[in-house]
Amino acid sequence: MEAEAAIKNFEEKSTGFEKLKSVEVFIDELNRIYQFKLWGNTLTSMFVLVREDSEIVDRIGVGEVYEMKYYNIDESQPVKNLNTKIKYFDKIDQGRFKGHYLTGLSVIQ
């Protein structure tokens, strides 16, 4: 229920400040690129949902920093490559997003 409330809160408060729609990260150990829908409205308060059965679950951790590509809703805008820290990685056990991890991101400036 907390994840649903957090997502609803972000949707209601979204100002479109950054107008970012998705984020992409390359995980070296898996030699794969992962792309996620981005929730949130600022570079310091956003998150993604990661499925609990994803290979990435065992490869990322709180406090780790990755270079991530951020895609804008307006596709004519350039992709932003930004170092991003994993703020939290909490498993969701109930509700609409059960079976996912709520993964907080914070851009390092």
Please give the CATH superfamily to which domain 2-107 belongs: predicted glycosyltransferase like domains (2.40.10.220)
Torsion angle, CA of 27/33/37/39, rounded to 10 degrees?
A: 30
pLDDT tens by residue, 6-28: 555 545 444 444 578 899 999 99
d(CA 46, CA 40): 4
Q: What is the pLDDT of residues 18-74, one digit of tens each?
A: 578 899 999 999 999 999 999 876 666 799 999 999 999 999 999 999 999 999 988
Q: What is the pLDDT of residue 17?
A: 40
Smallest CA-to-CA distance from 57 within 23, 13, 99, 11 is with 99
Instruction: State the pTM of this model.
Output: 0.78
